[in-house]
């Protein structure tokens, strides 16, 4: 049917190819809160267009998120950079949240790099630390695979996420920066920050990091066969662990302070991914 999310993603993929000259971008990067400075070091800008000029892309309402898709080039690799994302807590359904990831893959991306700002539950990951995700816990109660079954020729909805975050790409990132740690990320719905009791629960079930994005995008990317690398930038200790209230402005500032440095690392990965 005309309004199914896969048809809409195909339409958006066609628009991306048309807007960017039928580019075959192998890599897609989604930039999270405060990651804006990374955009300029990930690759040399070729072209850019606002999200609202592409089918199915709503505007983000969250400070620290841009609103454009950029075609860039890192060495010989073409990439798509999503300067911002939308979230479940903005009132969007899962299909809308993962729409950009689906469109990028259908436009040719084989590797999806997801970034986010997060809170840390692990003393080994203080504020300012980039952490690779090795697994996630989806606490949103939502998934992009719910609803009618995907139409042919797409895979069935029962996605294997055993290795959701590519061991190959994680090893590649660590070859460029051996200090990079790995952790388990729990996605909450938000937009309110987690309570101390919720943080205690997340620690008990094995989470090192908490945030409000990424997990459902990973599910959608894996369903379409893309490899996923996800990197969280710790911007604060989680609720009840730092002795002061949580503040979104602090999240954005921490991301901006470290975004360029982590962006240079990701560029090295992109050039050989």
Residues with a known catalytic role? 194
List, as one string, the DSSP characters of 131-150.
Answer: EEEEEEEE-SS--TT-SSPP
Calculate helix-pair angle for 99-106, 5-19, nearest 10 degrees: 60
Three-class SS of residue 18? Answer: helix
Phi and psi at residue 217, to the nearest 5°:
-65, -40
Structure tokens at 26: 């192998």
Nearest to 71 by CA among 99, 97, 101, 104: 104
Alpha carbon distance 156, 146 (integer Å) = 11
Residues ≥6 apart with Cβ < 8 Å to 186: 136, 137, 139, 202, 205, 207, 209, 210, 211
b vs e for 93-116, b when ≥16 Cβ sit within 10 Å of the residue's Cβ? ebbbbbbbbbbbbbbbbebbbbbb
Residue 190, by phi and psi: left (phi above 0), alpha (psi -120 to 50) or beta?
left
CA distances from 232 to 85, 155, 197, 212, 258 (A): 15, 29, 22, 11, 11
Helices (H), 70-166: 94-97, 99-106
Alpha carbon distance 127, 255 (integer Å) = 10
């Amino acid at each position: 049917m005309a309004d199914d999310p896969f048809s809409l993603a195909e339409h958006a993929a066609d628009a991306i190819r048309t807007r960017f000259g039928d580019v075959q971008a192998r890599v897609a990067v989604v930039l999270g809160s405060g990651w804006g400075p990374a955009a300029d070091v990930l690759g040399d800008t070729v072209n850019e267009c606002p999200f609202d000029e592409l089918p199915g892309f709503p505007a983000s309402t969250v400070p620290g998120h841009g609103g454009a898709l950029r075609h860039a080039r890192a060495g010989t690799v073409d990439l798509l950079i999503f300067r911002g994302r939308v979230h479940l807590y903005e009132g969007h359904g899962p299909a809308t949240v993962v729409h950009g990831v689906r469109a990028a893959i259908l436009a040719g991306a084989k590797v999806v790099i997801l970034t986010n700002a997060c809170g840390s539950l692990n003393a080994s990951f203080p504020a300012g630390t980039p952490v690779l995700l090795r697994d996630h816990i989806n606490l949103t109660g939502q998934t992009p695979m719910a609803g009618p079954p995907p139409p042919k020729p797409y895979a069935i909805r029962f996605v294997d996420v055993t290795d959701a975050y590519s061991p190959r790409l994680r090893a590649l990132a660590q070859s460029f920066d051996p200090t990079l740690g790995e952790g388990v990320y729990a996605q909450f719905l938000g937009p309110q920050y987690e309570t101390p009791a919720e943080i205690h629960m997340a620690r008990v079930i094995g989470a090192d990091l908490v945030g409000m994005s990424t997990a459902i995008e990973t599910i959608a990317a894996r369903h379409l066969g893309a490899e996923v690398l996800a990197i969280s930038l710790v911007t604060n200790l989680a609720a009840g662990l730092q002795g002061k209230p949580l503040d979104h402005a602090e999240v954005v500032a921490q991301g901006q302070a470290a975004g360029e440095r982590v962006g240079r690392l990701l560029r090295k990965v992109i050039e050989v991914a």
